[in-house]
Amino acid sequence: MTRRKIMLFALIGVFLWFVAAIWLRDWAPAFYDLGAGHLTAFALATFTAPLFVWGMAKATATPLDAMVAPTGIAIVAATLLDGIALTWFPAFYAGQGPHLAHTGAQLLWGVGCAMLSALIFARRRLA
């Protein structure tokens, strides 16, 4: 993989983190106030993660079964930014205490689902 592609996937990770962070700041609290809200928010991440991996593959003309490393690069960039935001800028997520913990858990679940999706897409190549 070229340095240019690595930087591209890192930038995509930054963009996707920003989109997820804004969504979690503005919309996720509504899910957390409901009894089944946690399940709804996690289910949403489970079903949208494959779409993010597919979208990255299409946007970069990368075969879907070759998305394990690119997804990993995007996840590293997103997770580093998330750690910085949760630690030093918690107001970015407009929360504290339980809301901040739910936000962190939601983001970790989402990146885990994205990596699992990339592995499933690449299962034949990895076999």
How crowded is residue 113: how many other Cβ atoms within 10 Å of its Cβ? 19
Angstrom distance (rounded) from CA 37 to CA 28 = 9
Helices (H), 1-127: 3-26, 28-32, 37-60, 68-88, 98-121, 123-126
How much is the average pLDDT of 25-32? 70
Cβ-Cβ contacts under 8 Å for 98 (sequence gap 6 or more) = 32
Answer yes or no: are the C-beta atoms of 78 and 113 closer than 8 Å. Answer: no
More confident residue, 40 or 2: 2
Answer yes or no: are the C-beta atoms of 67 and 122 closer than 8 Å. Answer: yes
Banded pLDDT at 79 (limits 50, 70, 90): very high
How much is the average pLDDT of 10-22? 93
* pLDDT tens-digit readout, 89-124: 888 887 677 778 778 888 899 999 999 999 999 998
Phi and psi torsions of 34, nearest 5°: -90, 155
What is the total count of domains within the chain? Answer: 1
Per-residue confidence (pLDDT) for residue 30, from 0 to 100: 67
Is the pLDDT confidence value at 33 over 80? no
Is the pLDDT confidence value at 16 over 90? yes
Domain that holds residue 66: 3-126
Per-residue confidence (pLDDT) for residue 29, from 0 to 100: 64
Burial of 27 (0-12, 13-18, 19+ CB in 10 A): exposed
More confident residue, 31 or 25: 25
Answer yes or no: are the C-beta atoms of 64 and 70 closer than 8 Å. Answer: no
